[in-house]
Amino acid sequence: MAVRIAPEQIRDLEASASAAHERDLDALRVRLANRGVDAESVISEVQRFSVAAPSWALGTGGTRFGRFPRGGEPRTTEEKLDDIAALHALTGANATVSLHVPWDDPDDPDALRAYADDIGIGFDAMNSNTFQDNPSTTGSGVSYKFGSLAHSDPDVRKRALEHNRAVIDLGVELGSTALTVWLADGTNHPGQANFRRQFERVAEGLRELHDALPPEWELLVEHKPYEPAFYSTVNADWGSSLLLAQSAGDRARCLVDLGHHLPNANIEQVVSRLAMVGRLGGFHFNDSKYGDDDLTVGSIHPYQFFLIVCELVEHGRGAMPPVRYMIDASHNLKDPIEDLVQATDQIQCTIAQALLVDRAALREGQDANDPALAEEVLHDAFRSDVRPVVAEARRRNGAALAPLTTFRRIGYRAAVTTARGDDAVSTGL
């Protein structure tokens, strides 16, 4: 029996916090008005925003050194949708899920779509998987050990294309309109493979996939510098990804996973470049300290995340541009839903801060070569406590003022652990 979180339940639990919220909101409304900012425009833009939840991050993540499942994890794709519906009830900003095949491999796509419709969850980009051997994707005699679309063996490449096309077919049945292709393809040893031949094989494969896209669909290519390959990766950086998207076709764009950049990379500039040439397709939001750590959004580099969102608002002429926003995280220690609540809250707050940037004053500082002034303009926005307008946006979406506290007070995890069992473990990373 699925556990649902109803808007009335949230309202009743948060009734005592409503007066304080109104006071904080009124005070912020005045402060913003003094800066020429209409709080209503910020509230409605935050209300409008939604970020897809990853189906592979509703269980406990782990590393090669260990995994500490907590029980009560979703055992089926339906139960993952239940958890995303609970998340969305609290944030008002996670109306879609991004599935990963074959970690999600529904027997009856129509039934799954009907189930999702019932609970108000849609399907964002589908993710294929040619980085693990799996009977349903490789079958016998084929392995992705030495790559997939880049593999020297045409049978392996053929199999990888078949899998991607099958993922598109499933997505069509579910109402999705995008395929994300992240390839682990690369090498561990100098000389192991020819860089150019590998790249050309991948480019050819992506062109074939692009040309097989149903109408309205788009192809997202996701770059990553290393892991699991530790000497070279075919689609290692934004430059390689842009070349692959441009050679694949008009409906191919680049997906930027924030954790897929070498230390000190200027990710906000990467975003600006891809947006400038019309090839920015979407994001996997997370944060990192060292490698592809898949930590909570904005938990390590909040100012960098703010600068990235400022580039998006700039590109969107004062609003978030219509690209695909998704979270891609792995929860080794935190409750998966709590981590996704915090990630979504951080994204909502950062959007509100970016909307406070006085872009005319910033331009003035830039044109006058006055870096101190330009920086002050950014700091003014970044140092603004926007939580009241974000809470109000959630409240108007029928969601929670304080989603994490309310999630705990509702006792959702305990309820689903009773329903699913202590040993229930989810598919995914």
Q: Give Dmax over CA atoms of the chain in angstroms.
A: 69
Q: Strands 252-257, 218-222: parallel, antiparallel or unpaired by DSSP? A: parallel
> By Cβ distance, which residue is nearest to ligand LRH?
182
Residues 370-389: x where in contact with ligand LRH by CB under 6 A, - otherwise, as a string: --------------------
Q: Which is nearer to ligand LRH, 56 or 305 (CB)?
A: 56
Q: Which of Mn ion, ligand LRH, none lies near 292, with the C-beta cut-off 5 to 8 A by kind? A: ligand LRH
Beta carbon of residue 291, minimum distance to Mn ion (angstroms, whole number): 13
Q: Which of ligand LRH, Mn ion, none lies near 268, with the C-beta cut-off 5 to 8 A by kind? A: none
State how far the Cα of 258 lies from the Cα of 236, in Å rounded to an integer.
Answer: 13
Stretch that binds Mn ion, among 91-99, 202-210, 211-219, 320-328 (CB under 5 A): 320-328
Residue 390 contacts residue 403 (beta carbons within 8 Å): no
In the DSSP assignment, the letter for residue 56 is: G
State how far the Cα of 163 lies from the Cα of 136, in Å rounded to an integer.
Answer: 9
Chain position carrying tokens 């991607």:
164
Q: Which is nearer to ligand LRH, 95 or 220 (CB)?
A: 220
Instruction: Restricting to residues 266-325, name those near ligand LRH by CB under 6 A.
Output: 284, 292
DSSP calls for 218-235: EEEEE--S-SS-SSEETT
Q: Which is nearer to Mn ion, 292 or 311 (CB)?
A: 292
Q: Which is nearer to ligand LRH, 329 or 391 (CB)?
A: 329
State how far the Cα of 34 lies from the Cα of 344, in Å rounded to an integer.
Answer: 28
Please report, to the nearest 10 degrees, the dihedral formed by the alpha carbons of residues 21, 22, 27, 32 taken in order.
90
Contact between 392 and Mn ion per CB under 5 A: no
Q: Which of ligand LRH, Mn ion, none lies near 311, with the C-beta cut-off 5 to 8 A by kind? A: none
Stretch that binds Mn ion, among 87-95, 256-264, 363-371, 411-419 (CB under 5 A): 256-264
Position among 104, 257, 314, 338 found at the interface with Mn ion (CB under 5 A)? 257
Residue 53 contacts residue 98 (beta carbons within 8 Å): yes
Position among 77, 127, 241, 384 found at the interface with ligand LRH (CB under 6 A)? 127
Position among 124, 287, 292, 328 found at the interface with Mn ion (CB under 5 A)? 328
Size, binding site for ligand LRH by CB under 6 A: 10
Those residues with Cβ within 8 angstroms of residue 203's Cβ, 6 or more apart along the chain or in another chain: 243, 244, 247, 248
Q: Strands 96-98, 53-54: parallel, antiparallel or unpaired by DSSP? A: parallel
Contact between 284 and Mn ion per CB under 5 A: yes
State how far the Cα of 243 lies from the Cα of 236, in Å rounded to an integer.
Answer: 11
C-alpha R_g of the chain: 22
Beta carbon of residue 175, minimum distance to ligand LRH (angstroms, whole number): 21
* The total number of residues written for the chain in this structure: 429
Contact between 345 and ligand LRH per CB under 6 A: no
Q: Which is nearer to ligand LRH, 305 or 412 (CB)?
A: 305
Contact between 241 and ligand LRH per CB under 6 A: no
Peptide bond into 228 cis (omega under 30): yes
- Residue 172's CB is within 10 A of a number of other CB atoms, namely 15
Positions touching Mn ion (CB under 5 A) are: 257, 284, 328
Positions touching ligand LRH (CB under 6 A) are: 56, 127, 182, 222, 224, 257, 284, 292, 328, 429
